[in-house]
């Protein structure tokens, strides 16, 4: 594990994916969350940079989504 850690929501596509990619490229371990299954594939992409990644599928706009963790 590195000294650097980032939590990024909406990381399965778009801006969130790009932010997570940049963080992974710069050695950040990641906790990434999105409300779609694509987050697992995105997590695999981020792991290719040699960082630890925990990918969670959850809708953080709902009480159930927040309580999943």
- Domain CATH code at residue 34: 3.40.50.1100
- Identify the domain containing residue 12 by its residue range: 5-59
Does 59 score more than 90 pLDDT?
Answer: no
Does some domain include residue 30?
yes
Contacts of range 10-13, beta carbons closer than 8 Å, 24 or more positions apart: 10/34, 11/39, 11/42, 11/46, 11/55, 12/36, 12/38, 12/39, 12/41, 12/42, 13/38, 13/42
- On whether residue 40 sits in a domain, the answer given is yes
More confident residue, 62 or 28: 28
Please report the pLDDT score of residue 13 as a whole number.
96
Is 69 contained in some domain?
Answer: no
Look at residue 2 and tell me whether its pLDDT is greater than 80: no
The residue with greater pLDDT, 5 or 69, is 5
For 6-58, the pLDDT digits (tens) are 999 999 999 999 999 999 999 999 999 999 999 999 999 999 999 999 999 99
């Amino acid at each position: 594990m590195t000294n650097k850690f980032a939590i990024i929501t909406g990381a399965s596509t778009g801006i969130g994916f790009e932010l997570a990619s940049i963080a992974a490229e710069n050695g950040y371990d990641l906790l990434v969350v999105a409300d779609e299954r694509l987050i697992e594939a995105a997590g695999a992409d981020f792991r290719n940079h040699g960082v630890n990644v925990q990918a969670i599928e959850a809708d953080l706009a709902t009480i159930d989504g927040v309580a999943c963790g």
